[in-house]
Amino acid sequence: MLMLLASVLFAAWLAGYRSRMAMRHLGSHGQRQRLVSAVFASMREGVVVTDLEGRVRVVNSAFRSISGYAEEELLGHKLSMLKSGRHPSTFYSEMWSSLARDGFWQGEIWNRRKNGDLYAIWLTISTVPDASGAPYSYVGVLLDVSPLKQSERQLDYLAHHDVLTGLANRLMLLTRLQKVLRQSRQPEQGGALLFIDLDRFKHVNDSLGHPAGDELLCQVAVRFGECLRETDLLARFGGDEFVVLLEGVASANGAATVAEKLLQGLARSFLVCGGNEVIVGASIGIALYPRDGDSPDALIQHADSALYNAKSCGSNAYRFYAEAQTRAADERLAMEVALRRALDHDEFVLYYQPQVDARDGSLIGVEALVRWRSSQRGLVSPSRFIPLAEESGFIVALGDWVLRDACAQARAWLDEGVPLTRLAVNLSARQFRQPDLVERIRAMLDGNGLRPTLLELEITESVLMDVAGAMEKLGQLASIGVRIAIDDFGTGYSSFAYLKSIPFDVIKIDKSFVGDIGRDQASSRIVATIIQLGHGLDREVVAEGVETAEQRDFLLAAGCSSCQGYLFSPPFPARELDAWLRGEPY
Ligand SMILES: Nc1nc2c(ncn2[C@@H]2O[C@@H]3COP(=O)(O)O[C@H]4[C@@H](O)[C@H](n5cnc6c(=O)[nH]c(N)nc65)O[C@@H]4COP(=O)(O)O[C@H]3[C@H]2O)c(=O)[nH]1
């Protein structure tokens, strides 16, 4: 605006300067008159001279073209004919009183062109006195600032909208959310925030390319829009995340209905990039306000944590925020921090569970099982912290420690003369993905002077399915002589194709099947079948979780003599192996 003001003032000054210079250089009155008329006519700014009632006396051509009226349509008429109707009457009365008081008014004003269009002008009005100094007429100099207003509007649009889909963006959502939260202190004035994340969107981007992904997002935006009312705000939060703000939908039922409609909206497939059919689902997290949060940040965070919960239920689900989720998330976070500290504070310890030949109870090997003796939480079960360590990536550091400690312990036992022929260690998916895994393992074995065949890495079927290049990694491990056991066999996605092609040495029958031997015929048959399968493939079969003599006898009868379980021994600290070896196992 300052620029504009400067240009108007400069133009007015220039006009005055030109005419003063002209006066000085041009002698006759007639010449001066002609020059003033020429300047008046050629100015880019519109100029209008009125009487004290606002009736038009003179206009220049710029004024005519800005207003769209011909000279004869303006002369003698009041300027109020140009009123846009956008300003209240107080606006004009203030303008007139400022003119009367100061002899001057300046500001932005909206007018209406002859064709009905509204336009904004920057107007400067000055009072012109007569020879006695009394007000005689008014001169208005104006500039059409509509183009400027248009770019201002475009900038504002860009700041508040998502360029790809044209939906509201994060800023607009936050602004609106802030406003509605201020106005909704009572539950009945509340509403809902739905946080939506598309399922399988990444797959579309990866397989069909980013243009297809962009097209899909635009189509999804349209579908979602069709499921919502005009008063609902649909925003794209970034990537494949959308947020819906439902004002006045204070009940969980209402929000659930909208969530179902949105999921239903995705039920039909989409056609992208010249006819590729794509199906996407979505997960939705819902937070109600003011109940679940009275600030935009809290509400979004809670809807997001509900989304996390919805995602864990699989595709096409919605979940409401529950305070317990936050507590669980806080607990998870605290546990993650404590886990990292535990490694520095030596709070992890390895227990070992013997694997025995069930025919005579002799020791075949041991499985290393990590325990966390937390100074604050007591003894924490691996089933509680291993999945978390896996999720956070901490498992890589922990797994490294386990391998190092187990190898060092095996060395110590061998030095003591313990007849140890196998050291089984669990390997998680993340560890398995480490590019330098094979070198690390080889270094640990070499460092402790251990034969590679002593080490048996237990890997679950799902890890093998999940990790790209699993086959190659297994091949490398096999090539250095390390043994591979498929852990929890029967609980994952067993596939004969991979059993045939991967290098592995041992199948470990999951304890859930072993535990049901004798109780459930189907489980007994599954166990017998797994043993046959293993032997048919020329692999060793180990049964884990053997707790009763009946289970042991069944296994022996089915041809499986390698057993592990409480019947023989629970896992114990390393120092107890000696005592166990000396004692009667069963
Ligand atoms: N009911 C019953 N259970 C028996 C019996 N005999 C052994 N078990 C338990 O069964 C689990 C066997 O280990 P897993 O299948 O590898 O399952 C392990 C493994 O997946 C994971 N885990 C433990 N230590 C490590 C580790 O160092 N690294 C990794 N990546 N995972 C580990 O945690 C899981 C649970 O470990 P634990 O709680 O030590 O539980 C162990 C063991 O204590 C029995 O007769 N009856």
Establish whether residue 405 lines the binding site of ligand 1, counting it when its CB lies within 6 angstroms of any ligand atom: no
CB 247 within 8 A of CB 290: no
Structural contact between residues 63 and 53, judged by C-beta atoms closer than 8 angstroms? no
The alpha carbon of 504 and the centre of ligand 1 are apart by a number of angstroms equal to 20
Q: Does 386 contact ligand 1 (Cβ within 6 A)?
A: yes
Q: From the CB of 296, is ligand 1 less than 6 Å away? A: no
- Domain 332-581: CATH architecture, name and number where available: Alpha-Beta Barrel (3.20)
Using the Cα atoms of residue 254, residue 260, residue 266 and residue 267 in order, give the sign of their dihedral: negative
Question: What single DSSP character describes residue 410?
Answer: H
Between CA 480 and CA 477 the distance in angstroms is: 5
The two tokens of residue 401 are: 């420690």
**DSSP label at residue 490:** T
Sign of the CA dihedral 308, 312, 313, 315? positive
pLDDT at residue 1, as a whole number = 42
Mapping DSSP onto H, E and C, the string for 171-201 reads HHHHHHHHHHHHHCCCHHHCEEEEEEEEECH
Distance 369 CA to ligand 1 centre (A): 6
Collect all residues with Cβ–Cβ distance below 8 Å to 438 and sequence separation of at least 6. Answer: 473, 476, 477, 480
Question: DSSP assignment of 511-563, as one string?
Answer: HHHHHTTTT-HHHHHHHHHHHHHHHHTT-EEEEE---SHHHHHHHHHHT--EE
Residue 399 CB less than 6 A away from ligand 1:
yes
Nearest-CA residue for ligand 1 atom 3 is 545
The three-class DSSP label of residue 233 is strand
541: region left, alpha or beta (phi > 0 left; psi from -120 to 50 alpha): beta
Which residue type occupies 460? T
Please give the distance, rounded to the nearest whole angstrom, from the Cα atom of residue 437 to the centre of ligand 1: 22
Q: Tell me the C-alpha distance between 519 and 7, whole Å.
A: 94
Predicted-assembly ipTM surpassing the 0.90 threshold:
yes
| 503/487 Cα distance (integer angstroms) | 14
**How far away, in angstroms, is 399 Cα from ligand 1 center?**
14
As given in the structure block, the two tokens for residue 177 are 């959310």
| Residue identifier of the C-alpha nearest atom 11 of ligand 1 | 545
Q: How many angstroms separate the alpha carbon of residue 567 from the centre of ligand 1?
A: 15
- Ligand 1 atom at minimal distance to the Cα of residue 571: 43
Q: Is 453 exposed, middle or buried (0-12, 13-18, 19+ CB in 10 A)?
A: middle
Residue whose Cα lies nearest atom 1 of ligand 1: it is 545
Q: Which residues of the chain have pLDDT under 50?
A: 1-11, 585-586
Q: Are strands 378-380 and 362-374 parallel, antiparallel or unpaired?
A: antiparallel
- What confidence score (pLDDT) does residue 187 get? 66
Q: Where in the chain is the domain with CATH 3.30.450.20?
A: 43-150
Return residue ranges of the chain for CATH 3.30.70.270.
161-321
Q: Coil, helix or strand for 468?
A: coil
Question: Which residue is it, tokens 């990694």?
Answer: 473
pTM above 0.80, yes or no: no
Residue 572 beta carbon below 6 angstroms from any ligand 1 atom: no
Indicate if ligand 1 lies below 6 Å from the C-beta of 456: no
Q: Where in the chain is the domain with CATH 3.20.20.450?
A: 332-581
For ligand 1, is residue 354 a contact (CB within 6 Å)? no
| pLDDT at site 11 | 47
Strand order, beta sheet including 46-50: 56-59, 46-50, 135-144, 118-129, 104-112
End-to-end CA distance of the chain: 94
Mutation choice for ligand 1 from 356, 369, 395, CB with most ligand atoms inside 8 A: 369
Q: Which of 384, 386, 395 to mutate to test the pocket of ligand 1 (most atoms within 8 A of CB)?
A: 386
Provide the CATH topology of domain 161-321: Alpha-Beta Plaits (3.30.70)
Question: For ligand 1, atom 15, which residue shows the shortest CA distance?
Answer: 488
The finding on whether 458 has its CB within 6 A of some atom of ligand 1 is yes
284 contacts 307 by C-beta, under 8 angstroms = yes
Q: What is the pLDDT of residue 313?
A: 77
Q: At the topology level of CATH, where does 43-150 sit?
A: Beta-Lactamase (3.30.450)
Phi/psi for 158 (5° steps) reads -65, -35
At 586 the pLDDT is: 37
Task: Answer yes or no: are the C-beta atoms of 193 and 300 closer than 8 Å.
Answer: yes
- 243-267, pLDDT tens digit by residue? 999 998 878 888 999 999 999 999 9
